């Protein structure tokens, strides 16, 4: 079953490479991997590590999370959370304390919505007070 993910990843990578108008060799060089290894990934014969996926994403100028989802490493919903957190943490217009408060609020909303979506799994409403 894992080869299905790898195959989908390979097809996705090939399409991204073509859209970026890069040859296999150009992408391999930019990502710091060997030409044969990248070819094996694209053909679904190899499953790259998260580090290799990150290098490929950087070379393709796409988010690593997108490749993690394609590889089955990350769930689509997890990707949204990771990207949201990254955006908050990267914002230079707010200070570190404000970033942490925003992340706490964001997480409390996610937990609240998860409990509403699955009331059978919740032990009842849980309210968390955050000091600002």
C-alpha 107/C-alpha 83 separation (Å) is 13
pLDDT, position 78:
74
C-alpha 34/C-alpha 125 separation (Å) is 53
* Class of residue 53 by CB neighbours under 10 A (exposed 0-12, middle 13-18, buried 19+): buried
Q: What separation in angstroms does the CA of 123 have from each of 74, 104, 111?
A: 28, 21, 13
Give which of 16, 5, 14, 3 is closest to 73, Cα–Cα.
5
Question: pLDDT tens digits, residue range 41-96?
Answer: 999 999 999 999 999 999 998 888 888 888 888 777 777 787 788 788 878 899 98
Residue 118 pLDDT class (50, 70, 90 cuts):
confident
Q: Is the distance from CB of 32 to CB of 55 less than 8 angstroms?
A: yes
Which distant-in-sequence residues (6+ apart) come within 8 Å of 132 by Cβ? Answer: 101
Q: Is the distance from CB of 54 to CB of 64 less than 8 angstroms?
A: yes
Question: pLDDT tens digits, residue range 15-50?
Answer: 999 999 999 999 999 999 999 999 999 999 999 999
pTM: 0.59
């Amino acid at each position: 079953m894992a080869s299905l993910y790898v195959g989908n990843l390979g097809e996705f990578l090939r399409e991204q490479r073509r859209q970026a108008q890069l040859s296999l060799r150009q992408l391999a060089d930019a990502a710091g991997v060997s030409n044969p290894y990248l070819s094996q990934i694209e053909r679904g014969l190899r499953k790259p590590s998260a580090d290799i996926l990150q290098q490929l994403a950087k070379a393709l100028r796409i988010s690593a999370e997108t490749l993690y989802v394609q590889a089955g490493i990350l769930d689509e919903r997890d990707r949204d959370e990771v990207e949201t957190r990254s955006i908050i943490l990267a914002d230079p217009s707010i200070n570190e304390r404000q970033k942490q408060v925003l992340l706490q609020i964001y997480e409390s909303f996610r937990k609240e919505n998860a409990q509403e979506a699955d009331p059978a799994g919740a032990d009842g409403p849980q309210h968390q007070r955050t000091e600002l």
